[in-house]
Structure 1
Amino acid sequence: MASSLASLKSFPCPAGNKCTAFQCLFNHEDGTNTHVEEQSLAKNPNPPATADQDSPRKRIKLSSMTPSTPSTTHQDLSTTPEIGKAEPDKRKDLSLTQPKLTDTATATAAAAAAAAAAAAAATVSPAMSPAMSHVNRAQASTSAKTPTSSSPKPSKPLSTPHATIKSSPKPSPISSPKSSPKPSPKPEALNPRLLKKSPATHNARLMLVKALHNEYVRLNTELKGIAKEDEKELLLSGQELITKTLDDEQEIATKKTAVYNNAIRNKILTYKRMKVPQWKEERANILKAHKSEESSQAPVTYEPIVTGLTLPQEIDFLHRLVWPLAGMERYGYVSAVPSDDDIKAAREAVEASRNTEVCDRCTRRFQVFPGRREEDGALASNGSCTYHPGKMYYPERSAGEKTSPPKKYRCCHQSVEDESSTGCTTAPTHVFKTTDPKRLAAVLNFAETPPNPDVPADRAVCFDCEMGYTVYGTELIRITAVAWPNGEELLDVLVRPIGEPMDLNTRYSGVRAEDMAAAEILKPGDDHRPTLVPSPDPSKPPQRKLKLAPSPKAARDLLFSLIAPSTPLIGHGLENDLNAARVVHPTCVDTVLQFPHRRGLPVRNGLKMLTETLLGRKIQVEADDENGNPAGHDSAEDARAAGELVRLKVRDEWKTMRAKGWAIEDGQIVPPKGMGGTAGA
């Protein structure tokens, strides 16, 4: 084939001197096949180099040439400078000189400009001719080459089949309106980002990305034509449109992998039908959200909750929120101390099962060994545990999406329906949890709150506990109590569990093994308040070092010293804390029952969600310690948050009662005339 094409050189060109072929295969009177190059050089004697990819067997040698400033990305083909004049009847050697960058800052700027040129080349307008697109791609790809010389000199012949040309590393930036005050620091081409698990082929994703980008460009262009001066900030630059397209496509590809094709097509269709006013509103909301997020970084002062009642009146009113203990068993509360016969039966059942349990995290069956297995000292069988530590949730629907998105895990955002994923976290052992009061009593029996005449009558206590996994299930490892409503700390100690710890559940409890090992052990009569350790930085508050109660019973006795049977205990999901401390208390105010979920129990609202939506405060922030591990929850913070929610409930209830005629006379809450009873009834 090559020999037959070469034989055409012996025939004159049919077009003669009017031939415009880049490298004509026919013979010409002047002996050259590059008329286009001659015409271009006549117009521009010092052109920048372009890639010679059309003829891999031709090498053009340039004896001397000085680099010139390259043209913009979008240029007309007729004015595109070509490579220098070629020598006839010889194989060409391609070379080009380049000035050497000696300054680091200049080199950095050149690299950034090259990246911008590459992004521009990838988004060539469809209206441009194929030849023009080829020239732009060549310029963009060659401009990223690092210059190697400071004076004009020929380079070595290239050994690759296609010649690669080094050109000036200073391409013109993309000319687009810069409406955003913070342009993207990292230019990108309109090319789908590389994902660990791609939901479709690259060509399919590229087609969808271009379609979505076209809709964004259309809406942005139309908005630009009608935008007022104060609406200029709603406009997006060319690079910002690309970044937004890639961000949206990547979000769908990672969070909706199973329904990627339908999800992104629905999104494209939504924006295809969208009018400028809707796009304008969406851009305004996004901009408002960004400003709100930036302002949220500053310290926020919260308005105190004003109930309109004095402290004794609030305590008196609090009794209206107490649910009778009888009948609370359906919510998990223990209303009576299990008998000895019940405890004996529970122990016999455990022995009959040979301590076989079901893992609370991965649901696999395993065997537990209290006191450790003799042959190897293991606490549990069946190896390690792989699981998802995050709770399940339903993602929010995108605009125009009609189908319900699949349920996912908060820890890794993987779909619950994905059977190939067994978990994203691995623990050394399996763990289990039991809620049966008889089995709980077999480890440590329950106790009713004893009378305590030393407790003030106007005291209410916010209560919260942290639990960890041991060979006996979940056990108490921290107990906290604060006064209500002022939040004064009354009790906060670590607790040594009865069984051997298997997992302290630090991700949620915040308790670490090193903290318990270094804690001071409490003795009868010792001050249980935390030790304050001065911080190395004088501007920071001192560090609190919690002390360690030697057993759950000792920690429960500390709680009994602060409350009486008539003292209201406030908490969120209070039955879990009372059962962990093995306490039967008749006066409980549970925020789970005060703020029920719209679907009813057993579905319940989380404390974090209630605090954020009703109080406008954030708790249980996912912070990490200095080693990058989750810091966990703070039981004192949770206890105070539950107390604030109860105050909000008191305020709203009292407001409703006042509208019905209730009033305060002589410092007492009295009902309307003709209605019997008191506020505490």
Structure 2
Amino acid sequence: MFSSRGLFKDVPCPSKHECTLPNCLFKHEEASVEPKVTSDKSQVHNSTAVRSSESPPPAKRRRLDTPEAIRQNDTYIRQTTIQGKQPPQKVTANVLSHDSQPSSQQAPAYLAHGFSINGSSTIASEKSSTTIRTPASSARANRSDTAAKQPASVTRAVSPPPTSRTQKASSPPPKPYRKPADKRGLNPRQIEQSPVKFETRHAYLKKLHKQIEDANNRHRKDFSTQPELILSKEELETQALDDEERIANAYPNPDTYKNNLAHRLAFYTPKKMTAAIWKDTITTTWLTNPNLATLTFTPQKPIDKAATGLSTEAQEVTVLKHLRTGLHQHAKHGYIIKAPDEKAISAVRALQKSNGHNETCDRCGTRFQVFPGRSDPSGQGRLTTKGPCRYHWGRIPRYNGATRGNFPCCGSDAGTEGCQLADHHVFKVSDAARLASLLQFKETPHHNDGRIRGPIVFDCEMSYTSRGLELIRLTALSWPTHTTVLDILVRPIGEILDFNTRFSGVNADMYLSAPDYGHEGKPPKYGPGEPLQIVASPAAARDLLFDHLDPDTPLLGHAIDNDLNACRIIHPFVIDTVLLYPHPKGLPIRYKLRDLARVHLDRRIQENSGDGSEGHDSKEDSAATGDLVRKKVGQKWEELKRSGWWWKGEMLMPPGAAKGLKGGSSL
């Protein structure tokens, strides 16, 4: 193609009105024909319109730079210009006003033939839909003049509609998400069994923090374009706390603790901590994806379904039987396996009466008096004496009957004044007869309904009342699916002195606003955001739990003796993670569930508020307990497999069983 440069603009077109070229090089004469309008002003279709033989055909449509279609009131209209002295008019799609309708003398011939959106031609009328078009030559001649008179919103360039690809390209990349930092300061975290004194741990912790800080500063230049690989002040402290706590939990012996901590200090030296190792360390510790493009952080890492090496849940339940501990072992570890008789209960009640209900505070050790059921209109010390209680919520571990170290809650020395203040002194009861004097123990009943009851993992939360430490929340999950079967609040028997929120997770607002269980005939949904329902007593909560238990139902828990005592339950089939993961020094020293979850599941629990002040979540604790048991199930299956056990369907067959013989182990 070539440009005409206007050489033929004064030469008449040989085809005259029969020319159909949109950009003809020759001259065309414009004809003026009056529009034909019906007398009744109604719309006339193109099939009934009569075209004058002298009228030229409508000019072929030509794409303009300005938009031709505008959406207004769900009707498409077209905007154009009319050649002549009158400035271009905007014609609406529904009604042409008298001011905007062109006169018959000024309207070109093609106005007599309307152009509808769906392709059918119509004759313009005063109340009919009309589309106005200009010839190509006219549009070409007046384009610049028309653009100058149109609003900027029409004349500016129009971007194409965004597609999925353009939207993805224009959206900013997601911000990498980091795990939250510990903002409690550089004090060693509380653990069950400290290998050395608090002062020694604190000194090593400061050295470790200094070593990590130096490594962080060395690599600032290496990762100047990747700020996510540089730790903040709080993150440096958290990294040091995590490293020291992991070593202290894994190596309770003082010598091995010091040796492994020395190796960790050497790990951050310039010789070993290269830029590549630093990147890998920060990526795997603080970020979950080394690509650093779409990073997400998952606080909890559930066990893989294939971690046990078993193909079905039924097989897991079958292997679970081999982790069972008998009642005689429970009795050896202090479990209550027999309900106290009435003689022992009567003796305890008589002793309490003669003692005047004097108790020893479980938090500060103060001797005080409690008055269950007492009512005082003044509301000042109506249930207990000796005023408020000042205490340390952290406990110093005991070694051979003596305390050693500092309080983990505030780092203060033993014997210093407490860092917390409560309204009442509180106490707890451990004696079986005294527990039974408040609510008698009950064995798990048999059910004859033919229903198969699978394993249950449960956890209880307690609060302090005028009767001791009582049940206030009960949660039960199915195992191994973790489906919630029961999660309720419980009204204790005594008056509440302290909700014990830091450990129970239950506060006054949650307790007082809880609806009654099954209110308005609606069963609990246990979904996100659903309020916990409350039952009238611990006995009512126990009956609801019994509905999911048979005597041969595996009942799983962590330090489950405390939960069983709170519910006053004697159950023959119990699996306790305290016994599955024993402390090297043996009972009564136990690993905390939080520490077991971090070491064996790489999961952080009981950290709802960062500092733990909002307390435990019994559902979270139950799920962690269930996963700890699943890990032991996988290990037990590996032992059985090495011994020659094999599967016949869902039946676990012993090593000597022939292929054709019946038998095996199944739930």
Write the letter of the residue equivalent to 2:434. Answer: R
The alpha-carbon distance between structure 1 residues 442 and 277, as it changes in their structure 2 partners (threshold 3 A), is closer
The alpha-carbon distance between structure 1 residues 368 and 310, as it changes in their structure 2 partners (threshold 3 A), is same
Number of aligned positions between the proteins = 416
The alpha-carbon distance between structure 1 residues 524 and 320, as it changes in their structure 2 partners (threshold 3 A), is farther
Query: Matches of 2:345 and 2:318 in 1, distance apart?
Result: 38
Contact kept? 1:528, 1:547, Cα under 8 Å: no
Q: Match of 1:410? A: 408
| Equivalent position SS for 1:640 | helix
Residue 542 of structure 2, aligned match among 534, 556, 561? 556
Query: Matches of 1:410 and 1:387 in 2, distance apart?
Result: 13
Contact kept? 1:520, 1:548, Cα under 8 Å: yes
Alignment of 1:622-641 (within 5 A): 622-623=608-609, 630-641=613-624
Quote how far apart the aligned CAs of 1:374 are: 5.0
Does 2:287 match 1:295?
yes
Quote how far apart the aligned CAs of 1:307 are: 3.2
Contact kept? 1:312, 1:458, Cα under 8 Å: no
Alignment of 1:506-517 (within 5 A): 506-517=501-512
The alpha-carbon distance between structure 1 residues 512 and 455, as it changes in their structure 2 partners (threshold 3 A), is farther
Q: Match of 2:326? A: 324
Q: Match of 2:427? A: 432
| Equivalent position SS for 1:641 | helix
5+ residue gaps, structure 2: 1-206, 225-229, 242-257, 289-294
Does 2:417 match 1:422?
yes
Alignment of 1:58-69 (within 5 A): none
The alpha-carbon distance between structure 1 residues 526 and 493, as it changes in their structure 2 partners (threshold 3 A), is farther
The alpha-carbon distance between structure 1 residues 445 and 278, as it changes in their structure 2 partners (threshold 3 A), is same
Residue 496 of structure 1, aligned match among 488, 491, 509? 491
Deviations 1:500-519 (A, max 9, x none): 00001011111111212111
Q: Match of 2:655? A: 672
| Equivalent position SS for 2:530 | strand
The alpha-carbon distance between structure 1 residues 563 and 247, as it changes in their structure 2 partners (threshold 3 A), is closer
Write the letter of the residue equivalent to 2:629. Answer: V
Quote how far apart the aligned CAs of 1:525 are: 10
Deviations 1:314-340 (A, max 9, x none): 222212111111341232321111111
| Equivalent position SS for 1:608 | helix
Q: Match of 2:390? A: 386
Structure scoring higher RCO (CA < 8 A, sep ≥ 6) equals 2
Q: Match of 1:371? A: 373
Query: Matches of 2:545 and 2:267 in 1, distance apart?
Result: 63
Q: Match of 1:613? A: 599
Deviations 1:1-39 (A, max 9, x none): xxxxxxxxxxxxxxxxxxxxxxxxxxxxxxxxxxxxxxx
Query: Matches of 1:329 and 1:629 in 2, distance apart?
Result: 33
| Equivalent position SS for 2:409 | coil
| Equivalent position SS for 1:521 | coil
Residue 271 of structure 2, aligned match among 267, 272, 280? 280
Query: Matches of 2:442 and 2:387 in 1, distance apart?
Result: 37
Quote how far apart the aligned CAs of 1:679 are: 4.1
Quote how far apart the aligned CAs of 1:678 are: 4.7
Alignment of 1:657-668 (within 5 A): 657-668=640-651
| Equivalent position SS for 1:644 | helix
Query: Matches of 1:518 and 1:582 in 2, distance apart?
Result: 26
Quote how far apart the aligned CAs of 1:409 are: 2.6
| Equivalent position SS for 1:545 | coil
Q: Match of 2:513? A: 518
| Equivalent position SS for 1:548 | strand
Contact kept? 2:499, 2:507, Cα under 8 Å: yes
The alpha-carbon distance between structure 1 residues 280 and 544, as it changes in their structure 2 partners (threshold 3 A), is farther
TM-score by length of 1: 0.54
Query: Matches of 2:457 and 2:309 in 1, distance apart?
Result: 18
Higher helix share: 1
Does 2:594 match 1:599?
no
Contact kept? 2:514, 2:531, Cα under 8 Å: yes
Quote how far apart the aligned CAs of 1:363 are: 1.0
The alpha-carbon distance between structure 1 residues 598 and 525, as it changes in their structure 2 partners (threshold 3 A), is farther
Query: Matches of 2:267 and 2:325 in 1, distance apart?
Result: 55
5+ residue gaps, structure 1: 1-211, 235-239, 252-266, 395-404, 533-541
Q: Match of 1:575? A: 561
Contact kept? 2:308, 2:634, Cα under 8 Å: yes
The alpha-carbon distance between structure 1 residues 344 and 392, as it changes in their structure 2 partners (threshold 3 A), is same
The alpha-carbon distance between structure 1 residues 374 and 458, as it changes in their structure 2 partners (threshold 3 A), is closer
Q: Match of 1:487? A: 482
Q: Match of 1:649? A: 632
TM-score by length of 2: 0.55
| Equivalent position SS for 1:655 | helix
Write the letter of the residue equivalent to 1:558. Answer: L
The alpha-carbon distance between structure 1 residues 609 and 432, as it changes in their structure 2 partners (threshold 3 A), is same
Query: Matches of 1:247 and 1:552 in 2, distance apart?
Result: 43
Alignment of 1:246-265 (within 5 A): none
Contact kept? 2:359, 2:369, Cα under 8 Å: yes
Query: Matches of 1:391 and 1:283 in 2, distance apart?
Result: 40
Quote how far apart the aligned CAs of 1:388 are: 1.1
